[in-house]
Every structure is written in structure tokens, then in C-alpha cells.
């Protein structure tokens, strides 16, 4: 199965072109750097955060260690920071420079399923929805001054994505199958802006406006920042921080001058070998089952809570084939849990204990 990332003009959505087409790409989150012209995305298959140019022919893995199930991602190219959520065994929200440097965790308590995140570029705050705790929260870019904006079991039954514009926040909800809005400071004035139960599994919501994508200086514009390949915004730590950083696409390495890239035969061969061994996976990923015995019960409970509970006739038919498919879909990865999922003909998810599958039960 090929997973594709496309691009198209906003006002002419039918005129689309393929940016990435690769069977091993399973992207749950995607963000566009509108100043330096790159696409950043999370990959729940390989447990990585990657980027590519708009043409899709110059990509790089930015973060590949210590990720569990990365989901949503948001960018502030003016300040040079990227933020992402991870809803794995250790749910958290992290940030790093858009060049992959200065990685740090900013939210790691009172968070369970951080499905969607968004940035308030004016007030320099991050907002997120938690599908398990039924809350919308916000904090400063560094995680300080955290506060709860809205708690509701009525309007936040299964929130997935969130964005903000002026004084409002907007989010999608899978249970209500609609898009809601509310005041971003106090959570008041909740209202549905689309008809209830009219959108089947509404996914990501975005606002396109100059306030949301403000103009900024592209410090790479002049001679590509003297970089031979990728020129990326660096995080603005202080006034003396460098504005840009040179980087190399996958398969190349940066020379000592920190400007030029040359072929890295070791990295290239290892990457090709790892990519060759990655099995094809379904795009219908929803949760994970940990192989850690200490956390298996919690993982199975989360999977059961997120999966449909009702059954239809024929759901149990062909379970042996389903287990085989599920076994083939599991991907061992350093720092990444084994995942087991597939889609039944009735579009319902069946879950299996990973240990039992591995043991052939």
C-alpha cells in the first residue's frame, strides 16, 4: 500500500500533485513551514520526525530516538521551533529546533492522549486537546504557566485536532462528528460550526490567514545560507543565536565546515537495509499494545477503550487470517513499541494481545 502526501492550491484543490509516495510512510501529523518552504511530518511507522522540501526530493530524518507514537506537529518558523505530541507509553509534548537541535520535553504530566496541538504565534502559547482526559489546555512555549481552558465530557468526547484564530479555538470531535469553537481564554461560548453528525471522522482542522502564517524573514534566501543542500531555521535561544543551520538529506553527512554535504556510505547502506526490511502497514492505525509486561494491561485497556465495543455478524469470521495479518504488521524498532492493528471488512478494529501473537497463540 502506498501512503502519499499531496499538495494543491487552496483555491483549486483538484489540481493536486504527489510530494511523497512511499509504502513505509505513515504520517499522523503534518505541518508546512511557509517561510523556509519545507514540510515536517511525524511517522508512526518508523517512529520518526522528518522533513522534506516542497518537491519531495530532499528529505531528512530530524528525530529518531526516544519516540513512541508521535502524532501532531506544529511549527513556528519565525522563532525556529517545532512542537509535537506523543501518545505512547509515556505521553508527552516535546519541542526542538526546526533543525532538530535543543530537544526538550515541555509537558509530561496530566496528559494521556494528546491528539492535536496548535500554536498561538502572537501570545507564544501552545494549545492541545486530550482525547482521554476530555480537556483543552494551554501553556507557554517552554511549558510554563500551564492552564486548563476547557473540560467537557459533552463537547470533548473524542477530540482529534485543534487550531486557533484571534480569540477562538476550533477543534474536531469524532464522537460528535463536527467542528466546535469556543473562547480560547476561558473556554466559554462553545458552539458547533458544522451540523452535528454530518462529518464522518473529521480529521485535521486548519485556519489559513495572514495572522496564522505571518510574514517573516527567510534567512536562507541569500545563496541558500551558504549551505550545499538543506538550510533550516535554528531555534532562537537568545539574541545571539544563529538564525540558520545547514543540514544534509538522508544518505549524506555534513563536513567539518558545517556547510557542505558529502555521501555517507555507512548511513546510506544502513538506511537502505532498514527501509528494505520494513513491512507494509495499514494506514488505519489507532493505538498500540506495548510488549512491556508491566504496562501491557494499561495498553490493552487503552486499546479496548478506543475500539468499538459492539459487534456485527461475521466479525469473528476468519480470525486466524486476521491474526496472521496482524503479526505481519508489527514493527520492532528501537524506542518504538510493537504495533498491532488492521481493518476488518466491516470497518471495525479487532485487537490482539501482542505476546500471544508472537507466541503463535
Give me the pLDDT at residue 354, please.
34
Kindly indicate the confidence band of residue 12, based on its pLDDT and cuts at 50, 70 and 90. low
Domain assignments of the chain as residue spans, ordered by start: 1-278, 282-361
43 closest CA partner among 278, 304, 202, 269: 278
Q: Residue length, the chain?
A: 361
The mean pLDDT of 342-349, rounded to a whole number, is 36
Please give the full DSSP string across 64-96, using - where no structure is assigned: -SS-SSEEEEEEETTTTEEEEEE-SSS-EEEEE
The model's pLDDT over 98-130, given as tens digits with 9 standing for 90+, comes to 999 999 999 999 999 999 999 999 999 999 999
96 closest CA partner among 83, 78, 114, 108: 83
Give me the pLDDT at residue 27, please.
81
At the topology level of CATH, where does 1-278 sit?
A: Neuraminidase (2.120.10)
CB 73 within 8 A of CB 42: yes
Neighbouring-strand partners of residue 38: 33, 53
What is the distance of C-alpha 347 from the center of its chain? 23
pTM: 0.72
- Of 12-26, 68-82, 124-138, the range with the lowest mean pLDDT is 12-26
pLDDT score of 69 more than 80 = yes
Measured distance CA(173)–CA(181) in Å, rounded = 11
pLDDT score of 9 more than 60 = no
Q: How far is CA 36 from CA 27, 159, 220, 350, in A?
A: 21, 31, 7, 42
- The set of long-range contacts for 127-134, using a CB threshold of 8 Å and a minimum separation of 24, is 127/162, 127/164, 127/169, 127/184, 128/72, 128/85, 128/93, 128/162, 129/156, 129/159, 129/160, 129/161, 129/162, 129/171, 130/159, 131/158, 131/159, 131/160, 132/302, 134/159
Question: Between these two residues, 18 and 101, which has the higher pLDDT value?
Answer: 101
Please give the full DSSP string across 315-355, using - where no structure is assigned: TTTTHHHHHHHHHHT---BTTB------B-TTS-B----HH
Measured distance CA(100)–CA(174) in Å, rounded = 32
Which residues have C-beta within 8 Å of that of residue 162, sequence separation ≥ 6? 116, 117, 118, 127, 128, 129, 136, 169, 170, 171, 172, 205
pLDDT score of 6 more than 70 = no
119 closest CA partner among 87, 152, 142, 135: 142
Amino acid at each position: 500500500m502506498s501512503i502519499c502526501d499531496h499538495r494543491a492550491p487552496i483555491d483549486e484543490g483538484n489540481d493536486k500533485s504527489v510530494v511523497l509516495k512511499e509504502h513505509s510512510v505513515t504520517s499522523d501529523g503534518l505541518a508546512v513551514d511557509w517561510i523556509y518552504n519545507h514540510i515536517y511530518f511525524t511517522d508512526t511507522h518508523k517512529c520518526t520526525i522528518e522533513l522534506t522540501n516542497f518537491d519531495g526530493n530532499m528529505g531528512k530524518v530530524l528525530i529518531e530516538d526516544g519516540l513512541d507514537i508521535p502524532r501532531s506537529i506544529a511549527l513556528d518558523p519565525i522563532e525556529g521551533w517545532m512542537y509535537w505530541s506523543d501518545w505512547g507509553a509515556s505521553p508527552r509534548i516535546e519541542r526542538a529546533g526546526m533543525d532538530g537541535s535543543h530537544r526538550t520535553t515541555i509537558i509530561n504530566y496530566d496528559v494521556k492522549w494528546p491528539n492535536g496541538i496548535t500554536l498561538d504565534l502572537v501570545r507564544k502559547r501552545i494549545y492541545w486537546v486530550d482525547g482521554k482526559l476530555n480537556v483543552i489546555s494551554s501553556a507557554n512555549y517552554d511549558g510554563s504557566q500551564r492552564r486548563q481552558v476547557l473540560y467537557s465530557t459533552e463537547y470533548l468526547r473524542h477530540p482529534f485536532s485543534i487550531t486557533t484564530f484571534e480569540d477562538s479555538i476550533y477543534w474536531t470531535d469524532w464522537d460528535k462528528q463536527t467542528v466546535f469553537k469556543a473562547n480560547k481564554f476561558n473556554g466559554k461560548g462553545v458552539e458547533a460550526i458544522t451540523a452535528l453528525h454530518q462529518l464522518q471522522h473529521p480529521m485535521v482542522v486548519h485556519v489559513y490567514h495572514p495572522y496564522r502564517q505571518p510574514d517573516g524573514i527567510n534567512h536562507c534566501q541569500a545563496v541558500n545560507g551558504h549551505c550545499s543542500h538543506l538550510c533550516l531555521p535554528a531555534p532562537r535561544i537568545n539574541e545571539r543565536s544563529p538564525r540558520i543551520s545547514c543540514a544534509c538529506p538522508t544518505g549524506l553527512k555534513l563536513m567539518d565546515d558545517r556547510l557542505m554535504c558529502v555521501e555517507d556510505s555507512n548511513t546510506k547502506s544502513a538506511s537502505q537495509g532498514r527501509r528494505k526490511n520494513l513491512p507494509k502497514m495499514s494506514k488505519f492505525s489507532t493505538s498500540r499494545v506495548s510488549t512491556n509486561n508491566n504496562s501491557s494491561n494499561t495498553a490493552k485497556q487503552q486499546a479496548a477503550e478506543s475500539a468499538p465495543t459492539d459487534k456485527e455478524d461475521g466479525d469473528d469470521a476468519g480470525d486466524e487470517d486476521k491474526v496472521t495479518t496482524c503479526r505481519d504488521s508489527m514493527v520492532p524498532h528501537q524506542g518504538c513499541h510493537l504495533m498491532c492493528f488492521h481493518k476488518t471488512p466491516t470497518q471495525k478494529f479487532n485487537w490482539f494481545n501482542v505476546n500471544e501473537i508472537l507466541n503463535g497463540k
